[in-house]
Structure 1
Amino acid sequence: MLKAGVIGTGMIGQDHIRRMTTVLAGVTVTAVTDVDLEVAKRVAGGLPGTVVHGSGEDLIADPAVDAVVVCSWGPTHERYVLAAIAAGKQVFCEKPLATTERACRRIVEAESAAGRRLVQVGYMRRYDGAYRALKAVVDSGAIGTPLMMHCAHRNAGVPAFYEKESAITDTAVHEIDMVRWMFGEEITAARVLVPRRNRNGGGLQDPLFLILELTGGAIVDVEISVNIRYGYDIRGEVIGEDGTAALGDLTPVTVRTARHLTAPIPSDWRERFASAYDVELQEWIDSLAGGGTPAGPSAWDGYAAAVVSDASVAALRTGSRVEVTLMPRPALYDPA
């Protein structure tokens, strides 16, 4: 039984605690902490035997914690992930791995020096049934060599603290990781086009149109619309030499009445990707059984996503094409 400690008991932390205690197998939550200890205490109150620690470092040092789940505020991720690596403990870190390229590089270097995989980053798209089915078609060669991919990432609305660049760093970063995984290639350059503003976007420049170039010459576009009102809508279509493959209709039911066809639309990411989060954490837990190592998104993936995200932000600011330059990839992250 894996004994997990959770750093950060806000919305996503509480959701992961719920799935680890009521949905998943092979894991128990033995410790929690949060910058607001009163929140952590309330959460622990519903978990018999769970200890509340005064800091993330104390939780990591607890011998009753085998593995760490980091769900705290993004700027704190680096210090907790580095502490877990130093302690030789497995760590699942919600995205981002860290908030700067340099911080991600330090994590990659620390894990590489440790000589084994200890870090998994929470990019849940890789665990979604529809995305996995799409990748299976692409990998099979059924549509020939993939040439392009069209993506859309649409939110009904975003919080008040959302900033102009958040459309890339917090929203499109999911597509950035997914594209690297889908094509099995690195992203080499980014451009951002700025369409007419959505009147619902307040002071944001919304929508945006992100264009990514890949190592093998494929091009991917991502429509980012974060105030489109009607719901949470994720789309993806790969165009190959011999055909196309697209994410299927994820609506469980359609209704036909009075000459109209209607279907429900997810309200947010929690509804759309609920099962992906379940699969993601269960596979992470299973991978650690018997002293194993995680097979999911690595520290290198977190680093690469950060570098591409930074390049995309630079493209947004300058209006020009920005090339992506990655550090040499350590052997630890070479494909199996």
Structure 2
Amino acid sequence: MNDLRIGLVGTGGIGRTHIERINGRLQGGKVVACADPAGAFGLSVAEKYGIQGFENPIDMINDPGIDAVMCTTADPYHEECVLASIAAGKYIFCEKPLAPKADACKRIVEAEMKAGRKLVQVGFMRRYDAGYKQLKAAIDSKEYGEPLLLHCAHRNPSVPADWDNSMAVENSMVHEIDVLRWLLGEDYATAEVRYGKPTNNGPKGLHDPQVMILTTKSGVRIDVESFVNNHNDYHIKCEVVCDGAVLNMPQPNYISVNAKAVTGQAMYTDCFQRFADAYNDEIQAWINASKEGRVDGPTAWDGYACQVAAAAASKARETQEIVPVEYDPMPDFYKG
């Protein structure tokens, strides 16, 4: 195969960023067509980038000129897009979440198993970040003993005006839900969410910051702070307390800035700056694997497992109680 011919569904901000990333910086693939649930808008984006436009996303997915699909739509459209790609026998990269609800994720899992081969990768880009990969290697080496506690934080300078209390878990800490499960190599047993004293930076009635507490099956205790209106910077923290060491994820190399009579470091203000290399590595790996006929990133089962834990954490937020995380047994199809 020459370039992997990619059809992109969902031409909002991240979709357009992926078009520019794939067609301008990465190797082995090209976005050759796009579509959007808002048909006319998708056609206008296609014209802007000089690629083929489809008014109907399903028509694009089924077109023989498309080898693989990328789904970057709003969350409610993910299930339809992914199921259509599976039915067409095409590899699909779906930005997180795989679907908004665990039962929808389960339908995707069942469709993929029925198709008889893995076709779905979920866009959990933190697994491709150099810092998280270093932590993963250190934990897996067993050199520092077993992980006992994790202290994590996910901070944003601000969020959109329509942000509500549910989004701290479902749009922000969902990244930690996936990457920490991957980091430790085990599922969660319980989830709870507690509120901090609300900041004056956010709208009235918004509980910000929030703290999610997860306990794994083996008893590892995890706390994750979500503070999405800190009015300062975009900052990700992960500290792993082990039997014989404390492991801290390395921070990016910020430039030093002299400004306004102060010497300090410039810091990132959004995830696209902080995880730029991870996004590039993630999509490049997906292109390479798709051309070679395999999925080697986060699977549909990972997408399901994440939404089960997120649903438990959301229920815990609403009830202010500890909630069990209850998964279906993992099918053999996804083991190994």
Q: 1:210 and 1:247 mapped to 2: Cα distance?
A: 19
Cα distance in 2 between the residues matched to 1:262 and 1:314 = 41
2:117 counterpart SS class: coil
TM-fit CA distance, 1:143: 1.7
Calculate the aligned-residue CA RMSD, in Å.
1.5
Residue 303 of structure 2 is matched in structure 1 by 302
Q: What's 2:267 paired with?
A: 265
Find the residue that maps to 2:224 and give its secondary structure.
Answer: strand
- Does structure 2 conserve the Cα–Cα contact (< 8 Å) formed by 1:94 and 1:122? yes
Following superposition of structure 1 onto structure 2, how do residues 306-321 of structure 1 map, counting pairs within 5 Å?
306-321=307-322
8 Å CA contact retained: 1:251, 1:265: no
Query: Hey, what does 1:26 align to over in structure 2?
Result: 28
CA deviation vs aligned residue, 1:181-201 (integer Å, no higher than 9, x gap): 000000111011112111112
- Give the letter for the 1:208 counterpart: Q
- Match of 1:209? 211
Structure 1 residues 68 and 206: alpha-carbon distance in aligned structure 2, compared to 1, 3 A threshold: same
Other-structure match for 2:220: 218
Summarize the alignment of residues 224-263 of structure 1 with structure 2, pairs less than 5 Å apart. 224-255=226-257, 261-263=263-265
Equivalent-residue separation in structure 1 for 2:148 and 2:262 (angstroms): 36
| Inter-partner Cα distance in structure 2 for 1:97 and 1:42 | 26
- Counterpart CA distance in 2 for 1:75 and 1:37 is 16
Report the Cα distance in structure 1 between the residues aligned to 2:38 and 2:291, rounded to whole angstroms. 32
Q: Which amino acid aligns with 2:109?
A: V
In 1, Cα distance between equivalents of 2:99 and 2:308: 11
In 2, Cα distance between equivalents of 1:298 and 1:146:
25
Alpha-carbon offset, residue 245 of structure 1: 1.0
Deviation at 1:255, TM superposition (A): 4.8
* 1:116-127 alignment, distance < 5 Å: 116-127=117-128
1:68 to 2:85 alignment: no
Render the CA deviation track for 1:104-156: whole Å, top value 9, x for unaligned. Answer: 11001111111211000000000111111111111112321111111000011
Using the alignment, how far apart are the partners of 1:77 and 1:256 within structure 2?
Answer: 45
Per the alignment, residue 324 of structure 1 pairs with 325
Deviations 1:3-24 (A, max 9, x none): 1000011000000000110011
Percent sequence identity over aligned pairs: 42
Over residues 248-281 of structure 1, what are the superposed CA-to-partner deviations in whole Å (9 max), with x where a residue is unaligned?
Answer: 1213323579996511110111111111100000
The answer on whether the counterparts of 2:254 and 2:267 sit within 8 Å (CA) in structure 1 is no
Q: Which amino acid aligns with 1:289?
A: K
SS of equivalent to 1:138? helix
Q: For 1:250 and 1:142, how far apart are their aligned partners in 2?
A: 25
Other-structure match for 1:113:
114
1:37 Cα deviation after fit:
3.1
Which range moves more in the overlay, 196-205 or 166-175? 196-205
Cα distance in 1 for partners of 2:309, 2:150 equals 17
1:177 equivalent to 2:178? Answer yes
Q: Which moved more, 1:32-41 or 1:263-272?
A: 32-41
Report if aligned partners of 1:148, 1:240 keep a CA contact under 8 Å in 2. Answer: yes
Q: Which stretch has the larger CA shift, 3-12 or 199-208?
A: 199-208
Match of 1:196, SS?
Answer: coil
> Residues 227 and 258 (structure 1 numbering): CA distance in 2 closer, same or farther, change over 3 Å?
closer
Q: What is the aligned partner in structure 1 of residue 139 from structure 2?
A: 138
Rounded to whole Å, the distance in 1 between the matches of 2:262 and 2:249 is: 24
Partner AA of 1:116 in structure 2: R
Greater shift after overlay, 252-261 or 317-326?
Answer: 252-261
Q: Point out where structure 2 has 5 or more consecutive residues left out of the alignment.
A: none
C-alpha distance in 2 between matches for 1:177 and 1:331: 20
Once the two structures are superposed, residues 233-252 of structure 1 have per-residue CA deviations (whole angstroms, 9 ceiling, x without a partner) of 11111110000111112133
* Aligned length in residues: 333
Q: How far apart, in 1, do the equivalents of 2:304 and 2:322 lie?
A: 20
* 2:168–2:226 Cα contact (<8 Å) kept: yes
Distance 1:171 1:270 in 2: 14
When the two structures are superposed, what TM-score results if normalisation uses the length of structure 2?
A: 0.96
Work out the CA distance in 2 between the residues paired with 1:255 and 1:22. 30
For the structure 1 residues 143 and 105, does the alpha-carbon distance in structure 2 shift closer, same or farther, using more than 3 Å as the test?
same
Which residue of structure 1 aligns with residue 16 of structure 2?
Answer: 14
**CA distance change for structure 1 residues 109 and 151 in 2, over 3 Å: closer, same or farther?**
same
CA distance in 1, matches of 2:172, 2:130: 20
4+ residue runs over 6 A deviation: 256-259
**Secondary structure, aligned partner of 2:201:** helix
- Distance across 2 between alignment mates of 1:259 and 1:5: 50
Unaligned runs of 5+ in 1: none
Q: Which digits, 9 at most, give the CA deviation of each residue in 1:10-67, with x for residues without a partner?
A: 000000000110011000112100123333233222444x221111111111000010
Helix, strand or coil for the counterpart of 1:306?
helix
